[in-house]
Amino acid sequence: PAAQSGAGLSVGEAADVALAPVDTISFTVPPERVPAAGTFGATASVAVPPEGELQISLSDEAWVDVVQDGKAVKSAAFSRMKTCPGIRKSVRFKLAAGPATVQFSGAKKETLKVAVLTPE
């Protein structure tokens, strides 16, 4: 389904996230990597399951940060895939169960396919 910036993402599902010019996005914390001028971004909320680990997969190049309790959480692992159709990279985060904010920035396109999964 389509999702606007600020929408909720569900674990175990994918969404087409509509991005906006990065300078118009109100990030919870500044992105770890400063986005280039003219790029796009968005924020989304997600409910972290009790297991506390999420994998966020993106269709195109973009930076992803996860914020929980007002602080950016460092990624636990990532992979880049140039040969897998539909997935450009996946990033894993170890989190506490409960609400979190996902921030996308530095995208060169105005849409981004995003899947939020629990790692296998």
Band (7; pLDDT cuts 50, 70, 90): confident
Domain boundaries, given as residue ranges, for the chain: 2-117
DSSP annotation of 24: G
Residue labelled with tokens 């968005």: 42
Band (96; pLDDT cuts 50, 70, 90): very high
Do β-strands 63-68 and 98-107 pair in parallel, antiparallel, or remain unpaired? antiparallel
CATH 2.20.110 fits 2-117, yes or no: no
**Backbone phi, then psi, for 80, in 5-degree steps?**
-110, 140
CA angle, 76 as apex, 116 and 43 as ends, to 5°?
Answer: 40
pLDDT of residue 41: 96
**Backbone phi, then psi, for 23, in 5-degree steps?**
-75, -5
Read off the pTM. Answer: 0.91
Q: Which residues contact 107 (CB under 8 A, 6 or more apart)?
A: 19, 39, 40, 41, 60, 61, 62
